[in-house]
Amino acid sequence: MVHGRVSRLSVHDVRFPTSLGGHGSDAMHTDPDYSAAYVVLETDAEDGLKGYGITFTLGRGTEVVVCAVNALAPHVLNKDLGDIVGDFRGFYRQLTSDGQLRWIGPEKGVVHLATAAVLNAVWDLWAKQEGKPLWKLLVDMDPRTLVSCIDFRYITDVLTEEEACEILRQSQVGKKEREEQMLAHGYPAYTTSCAWLGYPDATLKQLCSEALKDGWTRFKVKVGADLQDDIRRCRLVRNMIGPEKTLMMDANQRWDVPEAVEWMTKLAEFKPLWIEEPTSPDDILGHAAISKALAPLGIGVATGEQCHNRVIFKQLLQAKALKFLQIDSCRLGSVNENLSVLLMAKKFEIPVCPHAGGVGLCELVQHLIIFDFISVSASLQDRMCEYVDHLHEHFKYPVLIREAAYLPPKDAGYSTEMKEDSVKRHRYPDGEVWKKLLSAQGN
């Protein structure tokens, strides 16, 4: 039983200087310091359990998100956890409909990232109190309770509560076998770790050959800044992995619509499965045009890591603008909003291939995609979850990868909790790591 009143919300600005090694770099984010606004919820319950929530940010963006988390705090403080999860839809709507804060959203940007961090902490605490990993909490929930967590406002034209329930009911068949399959073999993953844009060719080669040795079969390469570089790097990777393995490309919103088509036509010889974020994440019709133009080349469009909310996903699906849908555990309004997107994707029969990496995104999103397989999609066809090999050592319950697959987490919670010492050392600007770096830079 969920219990306790929220007695404290603290939020930390935690940053890792990943830009120093070019890790995480792409055509638009050339110097990313992987960071998180890290929320800790405490209650007055005697069990002493805390809820941890994160949202992924980059460097200086973090302090803005931290500010927004503090602005949302009054909605959570002194609330009874049972009341929150007992009317989770209502609570989601309360957070996202704050009459003053929604003006700087609504349900998008900084304030939505902050909402995700807070709600992720609530889900972590709920799962911990139930003594289950989050994916299992979701899998064991009856369809009615699951859909009662979703705010269907703005999506009832494509998915009603009744339809969502029906999808979940139909997917009850074979659930037990799928859960066993996950526990035995895990959820298939692909790696992005080898080919960040800022890596020199030698690094790319070395990481690619290590990944092949470790059994990876699907690889993503950053593209979009310079065509000749892209041709050289894609050739290098394709030659190393051979014709059978899967290659994906990610332009991180670098191009205009015609440019995306032209550029990808030149990269088509390397047989990419998808081009990710070819243009602005807000340009639904642009994505549809690119999808249509690239379909004859066998290249699909993937997008979602910077998709604001369920409404944009709804329209991307309606407009046939994407072939692979990439949910993000920290950009959408936590599990609540992600559930609605998983269900819409199922209705439109579009495979979900989550965005991960960053700080803790792998830790979180594995729960959602494992739930998706067991309780919603019931399929692994054209599906895989991103994996990036950075910063897991800072998490108390890091992901477990075996033979290029995510093994379902066994610990209770949402795997969001970071090691206390890591948080302390990386807090900006007073953590030891930043104190040293800032003083070396003369700040």
In whole angstroms, give the CA distance from residue 410 to residue 135: 9
Any bridge partners for residue 80, and if so which? 5
Burial of 184 (0-12, 13-18, 19+ CB in 10 A): exposed
- Of the candidates 355, 390, 394, 426, the residue annotated as catalytic is 355
- Of the candidates 79, 220, 222, 426, the residue annotated as catalytic is 222
Reply yes or no on whether 222 is catalytic.
yes
Q: Is 84 or 194 the residue whose CB approaches ligand LFC more closely?
A: 194
Q: What is the DSSP string of 305-357?
A: TT--SHHHHHHHHHTT--SEE---TTTSSHHHHHHHHHHHHHHHT--B-----
Q: Is 107 or 250 the residue whose CB approaches ligand LFC more closely?
A: 250
Question: Which pair of tokens denotes residue 91?
Answer: 């609570």
Dmax over Cα atoms in the chain, in whole Å? 62
CB of 127 to Mg ion, least distance (A): 27
Q: Is 193 or 309 the residue whose CB approaches ligand LFC more closely?
A: 193
Q: Rounded to 10 degrees, what is the CA torsion of 280, 281, 287, 291? A: 110
Q: Does 32 bind ligand LFC (CB under 6 A)?
A: yes
Residues 174-213 that bind ligand LFC (CB under 6 A): 192
Q: Is 159 or 330 the residue whose CB approaches ligand LFC more closely?
A: 330
Q: In Å, what is the CA distance from 159 to each residue of 75, 341, 411, 436?
A: 28, 10, 33, 52
Stretch of residues binding Mg ion (CB under 5 A), selected from 105-113, 269-277, 292-300, 406-414: 269-277
In whole angstroms, give the CA distance from residue 63 to residue 345: 33
| Residue of 151, 230, 250, 417 that binds Mg ion (CB under 5 A) | 250
Stretch of residues binding Mg ion (CB under 5 A), selected from 93-101, 250-258, 408-416, 435-443: 250-258
The neighbour count for residue 269, using CB atoms within 10 Å, is 12
CB of 258 to ligand LFC, least distance (A): 22
CB of 8 to ligand LFC, least distance (A): 31
Residues 238-277 that bind ligand LFC (CB under 6 A): 250, 252
Q: Which amino acid is at 80?
A: D
In whole angstroms, give the CA distance from residue 391 to residue 16: 8
CB of 355 to Mg ion, least distance (A): 6
Q: Does 357 bind ligand LFC (CB under 6 A)?
A: yes
At CA 358, angle to CA 239 and CA 318, rounded to 5?
80
Stretch of residues binding Mg ion (CB under 5 A), selected from 103-111, 270-278, 296-304, 337-345: 270-278
- CB under 5 to 8 A by kind: which of ligand LFC, Mg ion, none does 26 bind? ligand LFC
Q: Is 25 or 129 the residue whose CB approaches ligand LFC more closely?
A: 25
Q: Is 251 or 376 the residue whose CB approaches ligand LFC more closely?
A: 251
Q: Is 159 or 330 the residue whose CB approaches Mg ion more closely?
A: 330
- x/- map, 200-239, Mg ion, by CB under 5 A: ----------------------------------------
In whole angstroms, give the CA distance from residue 102 to residue 111: 8
Q: Does 328 bind Mg ion (CB under 5 A)?
A: no
Burial of 157 (0-12, 13-18, 19+ CB in 10 A): exposed
Stretch of residues binding ligand LFC (CB under 6 A), selected from 22-30, 88-96, 289-297, 424-432: 22-30
Query: Any residues with CB less than 8 A from the CB of 367 and at least 6 apart, and which?
Result: 133, 134, 135, 138, 409, 414, 415
**Pairing state between β 187-195 and 405-406:** antiparallel
Number of residues forming the site for ligand LFC (CB under 6 A): 12
Q: In Å, what is the CA distance from 258 to each residue of 29, 220, 287, 326, 443?
A: 22, 23, 11, 23, 44
> Where does this chain bind Mg ion (CB under 5 A)?
250, 276
What residues are annotated to the active site?
A: 222, 355
> Where does this chain bind ligand LFC (CB under 6 A)?
24, 26, 29, 32, 192, 250, 252, 305, 355, 357-358, 386
